[in-house]
Amino acid sequence: MAKSTARFVCQNCGAVAPRWQGRCDTCGEWNTIVEEQPEAPRAPGPAGKSAGGRRLEFVALKGRAAPPPRTVSGMAELDRVLGGGFVPGSVILVGGDPGIGKSTILLQAAARIANAGRRVLYISGEEAIDQVRLRALRLGLQDSPLGLAATTSLRDIAASLEEEKEATLVIIDSIQTVWLDSLDSAPGTVSQVRACAAELTRLAKTRNFAVVLVGHVTKEGTLAGPRVLEHMVDATLYFEGDRGHQFRILRAVKNRFGATDEIGVFEMTDRGLVEVANPSALFLAERRGNISGSAVFAGMEGTRPVLVEIQVLLSPSASGGSPRRQVVGWDSGRLAMLMAVLESRCRVSLGQNDVYLNIAGGLRVSEPAADLAVGGGLVSAATDRPTDPDMVFFGEIGLSGEVRQVSQTDTRLREAAKLGFAAAMLPRRVARGGRAATAHDGLRLSEIGHLADLVAPLAASAAKGAEKSPKKE
């Protein structure tokens, strides 16, 4: 019998090293390589000729494809992110920082589905049954007919789920705590996470119930464990937000049964997570429109338009060294590029100032359409002249200063009109079908083709204000 030799596996990326070393050569992380025993070898034989195999029956691509059935959770924001609800036989991976509210939102959704007469099982590997009951009591869910268990053994979980005939939803909190005793590695290692997720995925497909796996995240904010875990599941959701802030964002980065980059907005209260049906109004609730450096961005998160305030503050650099660039909620590299365009193409001096940029409300914006709003905030802060408080901004800016078109313009304008804005600054639109672009829902449209068209009015207002101000003798 061949002697089994241990291998050394990086717990961050899953790379295999020939021996232990302090730093992983693949991902560059330190102290992530752990010794693991190899998995049991498979039976020898040529691929495709193992015992029990059967010939596949190929069908034509054309045919009827009915949409999958859905189990509605009763939480509209969660159902939006999932694409309409939980699909039977699907596997969903939910990640987020510790204490962000992953267990809370899943317990609330599980209780609502159970109250609707469905069989829901909640298996906790991190908390005891009494701890989960205390959370349910605090949330007012103690009377929900929810099946609850606490274990970390995959054999016990699999044996219990094999006997379930009516289960609709199974929640595993969390996948890093579940372990298989046939593997010699510790729970949470690459081998354990991969093997446990594969077995739970098999159970979901064969028993036709939805499985939700709660996953830990690394210090960089990505899901811990092997990247293959995200490929195995049908949907990957990230729960984002600051623990010191009441807003939480549930974002879909992968979804085989719905749109990606869809978001759901929640507010953390003492009674759990409350859905925010109109996040734009909530993000702008405390906005003051007469402050320089503020601009409203009409953005898109998946299929949902979201209006957020972009705040910019310029301060003379007191250290005498390199000015600071502090960014919250946006890409710092894109801010540096936009500042270079303003200085080179529009003659706006920003280099000697500390620049602070914040996306109000805790939302993280990643689409390039925010360039024009950030540019408006920078110019407003540099000239100390507020932008039009009734105007929204959106548009991508190129290196030559041109303002490029973005997608879903009409959807952004409709959201702005619904919230009472009277004007919008956007890229110059090209007439389609022989029809010229006109105002939308009574909005006054300011279409510009270059960033200088944004700088000129604010600079002129600053110059006029300087002339009217009394001169000191």
pLDDT computed for residue 472 by the predictor: 46
- Tokens encoding 78: 């969660």
Query: Tens digit of pLDDT for each residue in 118-166?
Result: 999 999 999 999 999 999 999 999 999 999 999 999 999 999 999 988 9
CB 312 within 8 Å of CB 374: yes
User: pTM of the predicted model, to two decimals?
Assistant: 0.77
Is the predicted pLDDT of residue 4 greater than 60, yes or no? no
pLDDT category of residue 457 using cuts at 50, 70 and 90: confident
Angle at 103 between CA 178 and CA 308, to 5 degrees: 130
pLDDT computed for residue 319 by the predictor: 67
pLDDT computed for residue 201 by the predictor: 95
Is the predicted pLDDT of residue 225 greater than 70, yes or no? no
Query: Tens digit of pLDDT for each residue in 261-305?
Result: 788 999 988 889 999 888 888 788 878 777 899 999 999 988 889
Question: Which long-range contacts link 178-183 to residues 24+ away (Cβ below 8 Å)?
Answer: 178/125, 178/152, 178/153, 178/154, 179/152, 179/153, 179/154, 180/154, 180/155, 181/153, 181/154, 181/155, 182/40, 183/36, 183/37, 183/39
What is the DSSP track for 172-215? EE-GGG-B-TTS-SPTTSHHHHHHHHHHHHHHHHHHT-EEEEEE
Query: Tens digit of pLDDT for each residue in 35-89?
Result: 876 655 544 444 444 456 789 899 898 888 788 899 999 999 999 999 999 999 9
Is the predicted pLDDT of residue 2 greater than 90, yes or no? no
264 or 351, which is more confident:
264
pLDDT computed for residue 279 by the predictor: 87
Distances (CA, A) of 119 to 70, 73, 137, 140, 472: 15, 13, 20, 19, 78
Residues of the chain with pLDDT > 90, as a percent, come to 53
Is the predicted pLDDT of residue 424 greater than 50, yes or no? yes
pLDDT computed for residue 211 by the predictor: 97
pLDDT computed for residue 464 by the predictor: 65
CB 454 within 8 Å of CB 375: yes
Is the predicted pLDDT of residue 461 greater than 90, yes or no? no
CB 417 within 8 Å of CB 443: yes
pLDDT computed for residue 31 by the predictor: 84
Average pLDDT over the chain reads 86
The whole-number average pLDDT for the span 216-230 is 68
What are the residues facing 391 on neighbouring strands? 423
- Tokens encoding 243: 């623990």
Is the predicted pLDDT of residue 439 greater than 80, yes or no? no
SS3 category, 371: helix
CB 90 within 8 Å of CB 235: yes
DSSP-derived secondary structure letter, 90: -
Backbone angles phi, psi at 410, to 5 degrees: -65, -40
- Closest C-alpha among 400, 394, 408 to residue 448: 394
